[in-house]
Chains A and B, each alone.
Chain A
Amino acid sequence: MAATFFGEVVRAPCRAGTEDEEEEEEEGRRETPEDGEVRQQLARKREVRLLRRQTKTTLEVSLLEKYPCSKFIIAIGNNAVAFLSSFIMNSGVWEEVGCAKLWNEWCRTVDTTHLSPTEAFCVFYHLKSNPSVVLCQCSCYVAEDQQYQWLEKVFGSCPRKNMQVTILTCRHVTDYKTSESTSSLHTPFLKALKTQNFREPPCCSLLEQPNIVHDLPAAVLSYCQVWKISAILYLCYTDVMKLDLITVEAFKPVLSSRSLKSLVKNIPQSTEILKKLMTTNEIQSNIYT
Chain B
Amino acid sequence: MASQYDRAITVFSPDGHLFQVEYAQEAVKKGSTVVGIRGTDIVVLGVEKKSVAKLQDERIVRKICALDDHVCMAFAGLTADARVVISRARVECQSHKLTVEDPVTVEYITRFIATLKQKYTQSNGRRPFGISALIVGFDDDGIPRLYQTDPSGTYHAWKANAIGRSAKTVQEFLEKNYTEDAIANDSEAIKLAIRALLEVVQSGGKNIELAIIRRKQPLKMFSAKEIELQVNETGKKKEEAEKKKSKKTA
| A, B: real partners | yes
Are A288 and B27 in contact (CB-based, < 8 A)?
yes
Q: Mark B1-34, 1 if CB is under 8 A from A, else 0.
A: 0000000000000000000000001110111100
A240 to B168, CA, bound (A): 15
A282 to B80, CA, bound (A): 21
A99 to B27, CA, bound (A): 37
A287 in complex: contacting residue of B25, B63, B79, CB < 8 Å: B79
Q: Is A96 an interface residue (CB 8 A)?
A: no
B111 to chain A, nearest CB (A): 24
Q: Is A246 an interface residue (CB 8 A)?
A: yes
Q: Is A44 an interface residue (CB 8 A)?
A: no
A240 to B26, CA, bound (A): 11
A240 to chain B, nearest CB (A): 7
Chain B residue nearest to A239 (CB atoms) is: B29
A284 to B50, CA, bound (A): 9
Q: Is A186 an interface residue (CB 8 A)?
A: yes
Are A246 and B29 in contact (CB-based, < 8 A)?
no
The stretch that binds A, out of B70-78, B93-101, B138-146, is B70-78
* A contact residues around B246 at 8 Å (CB): none
* A contact residues around B27 at 8 Å (CB): 288
Q: Mark A211-247, 1 if CB is under 8 A from B, else 0.
A: 0000000000000000000000000000110000110
B202 in complex: contacting residue of A275, A284, A288, CB < 8 Å: A275
CB proximity to A under 8 Å, residues B16-61: 25-27, 29-32, 50-53, 56, 61
Q: Mark B71-111, 1 if CB is under 8 A from A, else 0.
A: 00001111110100000000000000000000000000000
Are B53 and A239 in contact (CB-based, < 8 A)?
no
Are A282 and B166 in contact (CB-based, < 8 A)?
no
Q: Mark A183-202, 1 if CB is under 8 A from B, else 0.
A: 10010000000000000000
* A contact residues around B179 at 8 Å (CB): none
Q: Is B249 an interface residue (CB 8 A)?
A: no
Q: Is A286 an interface residue (CB 8 A)?
A: yes
A289 in complex: contacting residue of B26, B53, B75, B168, CB < 8 Å: B75
B60 to chain A, nearest CB (A): 10
Q: Is B203 an interface residue (CB 8 A)?
A: yes
Q: Mark A261-289, 1 if CB is under 8 A from B, else 0.
A: 00000000000000100010010101111
B63 in complex: contacting residue of A239, A275, A289, CB < 8 Å: A289
A284 to B53, CA, bound (A): 6
Are B29 and A286 in contact (CB-based, < 8 A)?
no
Chain B residue nearest to A278 (CB atoms) is: B202
**Total contacts A-B at CB 8 Å:** 40
Q: Mark B167-195, 1 if CB is under 8 A from A, else 0.
A: 01000000000000000000000000000
Chain A residue nearest to B50 (CB atoms) is: A289
A288 in complex: contacting residue of B52, B77, B166, CB < 8 Å: B77
Are B52 and A287 in contact (CB-based, < 8 A)?
no
Are A275 and B166 in contact (CB-based, < 8 A)?
no
* A contact residues around B32 at 8 Å (CB): 288-289
* A contact residues around B79 at 8 Å (CB): 286-289
A186 to B56, CA, bound (A): 33
B124 to chain A, nearest CB (A): 25
Are A289 and B31 in contact (CB-based, < 8 A)?
yes
* B contact residues around A239 at 8 Å (CB): 26, 29-30
A240 to B166, CA, bound (A): 11
A286 to B60, CA, bound (A): 11
A103 to B30, CA, bound (A): 31
Are A275 and B31 in contact (CB-based, < 8 A)?
no
- A: residues with CB less than 8 A from B are 183, 186, 239-240, 245-246, 275, 279, 282, 284, 286-289
A-B contact pairs, 21 of them (CB 8 A): A183-B25, A186-B168, A239-B29, A240-B30, A240-B165, A245-B202, A246-B166, A275-B202, A279-B51, A284-B53, A286-B79, A287-B78, A287-B80, A288-B27, A288-B32, A288-B77, A289-B31, A289-B32, A289-B77, A289-B79, A289-B82
